[in-house]
Amino acid sequence: MKRILFIKLICTLSILVVTSASFALDADDLDELLGYTMISSTHFSGEFEGADFDKSVKLDNGMVFWFTGYNYNFSFRPAVAVFAKSMTPEELRKYGIKPPSNKPFTFYKLVIDDEIYDVIRVR
């Protein structure tokens, strides 16, 4: 009986290692972060169940964001890296974006469990 439990445990651990390795961020994913600066490293308390449009997420450092897309990803108390990139109104116009004001606008991305999320900062 102990031997069967031991074999099941080894199989489960092997699956977890292979699964987590296959979902890791690689260099091709990082081009989404070109021009961004990492501004914070924190955690999400509790169970993280991925992103949904307009779903908010409050981080342990007090920052609050809304997701602008959908992606399911479950984890418990994941680490979060916060990235930001500011653009002047002139830069926004070059990309065909109407600036919301005459002040620089900041874009944000979160990296949570090897996934990159586009977000809007609420607080």
pLDDT at 4 over 60: no
Q: What is the mean pLDDT of residues 70-78?
A: 94
Residues 53, 108: Cα–Cα separation, whole Å: 15
Return the pLDDT at 54.
84
pLDDT at 24 over 50: yes
At 91, is the secondary structure helix, strand, or coil? helix
pLDDT band at 18 (very low <50, low <70, confident <90, very high): very low
Q: Using CB atoms within 10 A of its CB, is residue 82 exposed (0-12), middle (13-18) or buried (19+)?
A: buried
**Percent of the chain scoring above 70 in pLDDT:** 81
Residues 22, 68: Cα–Cα separation, whole Å: 25
Residues 50, 116: Cα–Cα separation, whole Å: 11
